[in-house]
Amino acid sequence: MTMSTAAAPARPRRAMDSLTQRYLVLVGLIVIASVGFGIANENFYSLANIGILLRSIAVLFLVSMGMTFIMLTGGIDLSVGSNVAFAGGVGVIALTATDSAALGFVAAILAGMAIGAINGVFIGRLRLSAFMVTLATFALARGLALVIYDADSINVSNAAFLWLGGQSWGSLPVVIPFVALVFVALSVLLYRAPFGRDVYAAGSNFNTAFVLGRMPQRTLVWVYVLSGALAGLSAIITVGRVSSGQPWTGLYLEFDAITAVILGGTSLFGGRGRLLGTILGVLLYGIIINGLVLTGTNPYLQSLIKGLILLGVVLLDTLVQRRKAQ
């Protein structure tokens, strides 16, 4: 019985239904939040503001998609925010040393993957707790970023390097179609490639996957490397956005990403969730943050609201499911 679920570990129908329901809840909340903020502030709907909003959450989109893969395997990655700073540092140093944007890109992504590989080996091969390992690399990567930058920022003027994060076509930032492309690519990887099935299998039941020869330990390594690569991409976008490399960039990004992924309905215990949910989660989160900024809300009140919304969405979801089950 367990064998058959693991052999075809594609999302069982019931889970799909509850996920679809969650997405409807999210879409509803996004509409309510937009209308509410739109009434409170006429600027909310301006094209410029929408561009700002999307650009400001571009990095969160990428990092959260990586986090979704990890959480599908039942893991967690606390190191992504620090990794964005570290990968950016390596990229910027490579750029200034060689004056080649291409080498800078490659260096940033490789650096991100390197931290991801450390996570992956410790978690996948040594079977250590993801929480603990990434907590260690959270400190390690931030520390390395500080060392690389010598705790100072480095200005970047190379137009090619800045293009992705800084350029806009009118009100549309270049980075938005780029994020959409990444989303499509990752969707293919998750839903159409064998790797995606391995991810769901590793999250549903590691031991069964192991017995079935799906090599979940290898899958885990690659999932963390993927998250690292996305952190590297995010680093490039961040550098472009602020036209400089910053050692403190990405601070607490992991908390935002985890919150967004949870909002998007992905289970913490692995095996259940979709990328679309994460996209909706990031959108809802971004709209709320943007709206709170527009209305000049007290930062402490913002924290409280953030907490209540997170709890409220999950609670709503649970209650709806319970009623349905009855």
Partner 1 sequence: MPDLSRVMRERNIIFVTLALCLVFYLISPRFLSLDNMSAISRQIVPIGLIALGQFFVVVSGNIDLSMGMGSVLFAIVLGVFFGLTGGVALGIVAVIVCSLALGFFNGVLVAKLGLPAFIVTLSMLFSAQGLSGLIIPRGQQIFLMGDFFRFIGAETFLGLYWSFLFLLALFALAWVVYNHTSWGAAVIAVGNSEENARLAGVNVDRVKIGVFMVSGLCSGFAGIMLSSRMGFVQPGLDGNGLLLDGIAAIIIGGTLILGGRGTIGGAFWGLLFIGIINNALNLLNVEDVWHQVFKGAVILAALGANWLLWQSRQVEAH
Partner 2 sequence: MTFKTGLMAATALATLGAPAWAQEDTLDIVFINDGHVAPYHVAWLKGFEDAIEAYDEAFEDTEITGRWLSAEGSLEKMIQQTEVTINEGPDVMFVNAINVDAFEPLVAKAQEAGITWIAVHSPMESADYSFTLGDVVNGTNQGMAICALSGGEPYKVGVMLGQAGNPSGEARREGILKGIATCDNVEVVAEQPADWDTVKAQSIAENWLTQFEDLDAISGVTDAYMYPSIAIATNSGKDLDFFGYDGDIPILQQMKDGPVKADILLSGTREGWNFVQMAYRIHKGETPDKVYDFYTPLVMTEENHKIALENGFPEDVEVYYVDQALDVAANGYLEFGPDSVK
- Residue 168's φ and ψ, nearest 5 degrees, are -130, 145
Site string for partner 1, 132-151 (x = CB under 8 A): xx-xxxxxxxxxx-xx--xx
Cβ–Cβ under 8 Å, residues 74 and 206: yes
49 vs 267, which CB is nearer to partner 2? 49
Q: Is 126 in the site for partner 1 (CB under 8 A)?
A: yes
How far apart are alpha carbons 246 and 240 in whole angstroms?
11
Which own/partner pairs from 124-128 qualify as long-range (CB within 8 Å, at least 24 positions apart)? 124/216, 124/217, 124/218, 124/219, 124/220, 124/221, 124/224, 125/217, 125/221, 127/217
197's tokens: 């099935």
Q: Please, what is the minimum distance in Å from the beta carbon of residue 3 to partner 1? A: 20
1 vs 126, which CB is nearer to partner 1? 126
Q: Please, what is the minimum distance in Å from the beta carbon of residue 265 to partner 1? A: 11
Site string for partner 2, 215-244 (x = CB under 8 A): -----------------------x--xxxx
- Residue 154's φ and ψ, nearest 5 degrees, are -125, 125
Q: Is 167 in the site for partner 2 (CB under 8 A)?
A: no
In the list 12, 24, 307, 324, the residue contacting partner 1 (rule: CB under 8 A) is 307
Q: Is 46 in the site for partner 1 (CB under 8 A)?
A: no
Specify whether the backbone of 291 is left (phi greater than 0), alpha (psi in -120 to 50) or beta.
Answer: alpha
Residues between 146 and 165 that touch partner 2 (CB under 8 A): 146, 149-153, 155
Q: Exposure string (b/e) for 28-45, b if CB count within 10 Å is 16 or more?
A: ebbeebbeebeeeeeebe
Q: Is 251 in the site for partner 2 (CB under 8 A)?
A: yes
222 vs 248, which CB is nearer to partner 2? 248
Nearest partner of 235 among 124, 85, 128, judged by Cα:
85
DSSP label of 41: -
Residues between 248 and 267 that touch partner 1 (CB under 8 A): 255, 258-259, 262, 267
| Neighbouring C-beta atoms of residue 120, cutoff 10 Å | 28
Tokens 């290898």 identify what position? 218
In the list 39, 170, 194, 252, the residue contacting partner 2 (rule: CB under 8 A) is 252
Residues between 273 and 312 that touch partner 2 (CB under 8 A): 289-290, 293-296, 299-300
Q: Is 129 in the site for partner 1 (CB under 8 A)?
A: yes
Helix (H, G, I), strand (E, B) or coil at 170: coil
Catalog residues that contact partner 1 under the rule CB under 8 A: 118, 122, 126, 128-129, 131-133, 135-144, 146-147, 150-151, 255, 258-259, 262, 267-269, 298-308, 310-311, 314-315, 318
Catalog residues that contact partner 2 under the rule CB under 8 A: 40-43, 46, 48-49, 52, 55-56, 59, 146, 149-153, 155, 166, 238, 241-244, 246-252, 289-290, 293-296, 299-300
